[in-house]
Amino acid sequence: MSKPVTIIMIEDDEGHARLIERNIRRSGVNNDIKPFTNGTDAIRYLFGADGSGSVHKDEALLVLLDLNLPDMSGIDILRRVKENAHLKCAPVVVLTTTDDAQEIKRCYDLGCNVYITKPVNYESFANAIRQLGLFFSVIQVPQAET
């Protein structure tokens, strides 16, 4: 484990991003968090200029993903990440407002590791994110395959 885990946060709502980051920090997670506010930028970063994803080999990534993005559906990003040879091992946490049962099932079918619904109640929200932070601090994240 040469490099610490980088958290890729794909969240179009900057307010949400700020709240998520704050609560992750409060749980004691100090890893790099790279925020993206739209799908296109996130894809470009994740898969690199050549689209193969090989830019991240030897890196450990964790993706925090919102499903409602302005330019594409988070589900497309999830599918592409899980289909990519280099990125498929990276844990993907879907964090979204949708609590539709079909949507949740679909995400897990596509290989999502954790699905969390953003509660409007802030205490629940903060609680969920802090627990997620605790989860981050204990899970083992593999490096991207070469």
Partner 1 sequence: MEPNGPPRLIPYRVKGFETELGFWVLNTGRFPQHDELQVTANAARRRELVQVLLLTAGFLVLVAISAASILFVDRARDDSSLVVHTVEVENQIAAVLLELRRAESAGRGYLLTSEPRFLTQHDTALANILGNVRHLRELTLDNPVQTRNSDALQAAVETRLNEFRETIAFAERKDQQGGIAQLRAASAEDTVHRITEISNAMRREEDRLFAARTISADRSQQWASTVTIAGSGLVVALAALSIFLVRRSSRARDDAEAQLRDSNINLEETVATRTTDLREANEEIQRFAYIVSHDLRSPLVNIMGFTSELEELRGDIFKRIASLSHPGTPTALSGDDASVPVLAEQDAKLSEDFNEALGFIKSSIGKMDRLISAILHLTREGRREFQPVPVDLRELIDGIAATVAHQAAEADAQIRVQPLPTIVSDRLALEQIFSNLIDNALKYLRTDVAGDIAVSGRTKLGFAIIEVTDNGRGIDARDHQRIFELFRRAGPQDRPGQGIGLAHVRALVRRLGGTLSVSSELDAGSTFTVTLPVKWALGRQGQTP
Kindly identify the residues of this chain, within the stretch 53-82, that bind partner 1 according to CB under 8 A.
Answer: 68
Q: Which residue has the tokens 């290989």?
A: 111
* Binding-residue total with partner 1 (CB under 8 A): 17
**CA separation, residue 138 to residues 57, 114, 134 (Å):** 22, 14, 7
Interaction between residue 108 and partner 1 (CB under 8 A): no
Are the C-beta atoms of residues 71 and 38 closer than 8 Å to each other? yes
Closest distance of CB 32 from partner 1, Å: 23
With CB under 8 A as the contact rule, the residue among 28, 51, 70, 122 that binds partner 1 is 122
Interaction between residue 19 and partner 1 (CB under 8 A): yes
Distance between CA atoms of residues 143 and 139, nearest Å: 13
Query: What Rg value do the Cα atoms of the chain yield, rounded?
Result: 14
Kindly identify the residues of this chain, within the stretch 25-54, that bind partner 1 according to CB under 8 A.
Answer: none
With CB under 8 A as the contact rule, the residue among 84, 118, 133, 141 that binds partner 1 is 118
For 89, phi and psi rounded to 5 degrees? Answer: -85, -15
Chain residues in the site for partner 1 (CB under 8 A) = 13, 15-16, 19, 22, 68, 97-98, 100, 118-123, 125-126
